[in-house]
Amino acid sequence: MLVAMRFSRQVQYALCGIFDLAYNGAGEPVHVRRVGERQGIPYRFLEQIFQRLRRAGLVAGKRGPGGGFVLTRPPSQISLLEVVEAVAGPIAGEPPHDRAGSRRGAEGAGPSVHRPDFLWDDLAARMARILGEIQVADVCREAVRRSVVRDLPSRFDYEI
User: Which CATH number goes with the domain that contains 115?
Assistant: 1.10.10.10
Choose between 29 and 159: higher pLDDT.
29
Say if 155 falls within a structural domain. Answer: no
Say if 150 falls within a structural domain. Answer: no
147: number of Cβ within 10 Å: 7
Judge contact between 15 and 33, C-beta under 8 A. Answer: no
Say if 158 falls within a structural domain. Answer: no
- Per-residue confidence (pLDDT) for residue 68, from 0 to 100: 95
DSSP 65: T
Domain that includes residue 13, residue range: 9-145
Domain count, the chain: 1
Give the residue from 79, 58, 160 showing the smallest Cα distance to 127: 79
Judge contact between 27 and 59, C-beta under 8 A. Answer: no
Residue 59 φ/ψ, nearest 5 degrees? -135, 160
Query: At CA 73, angle to CA 60 and CA 6, rounded to 5?
Result: 85
Say if 111 falls within a structural domain. Answer: yes
Read off the pLDDT band of 2 (50, 70, 90). Answer: low
The model carries a pTM of: 0.81
Judge contact between 54 and 21, C-beta under 8 A. Answer: no
Tens digits of residue pLDDT in 50-99 = 999 999 999 999 988 888 999 999 999 999 999 999 999 998 645 444 43
Say if 116 falls within a structural domain. Answer: yes
- Per-residue confidence (pLDDT) for residue 105, from 0 to 100: 47
Helix or strand run (H / E) with residue 60: strand 59-62
Query: Average pLDDT, stretch 137-154?
Result: 94
Give the residue from 10, 79, 91 showing the smallest Cα distance to 51: 10
Tens digits of residue pLDDT in 88-140 = 999 864 544 443 444 444 455 556 788 888 888 888 899 999 999 999 999 99
Instruction: Using only the alpha carbons of the chain, give its radius of gyration.
Output: 19
Residue 148 φ/ψ, nearest 5 degrees? -70, 130
**Separation between Cα atoms, residue 160 and residue 155, nearest integer Å:** 15
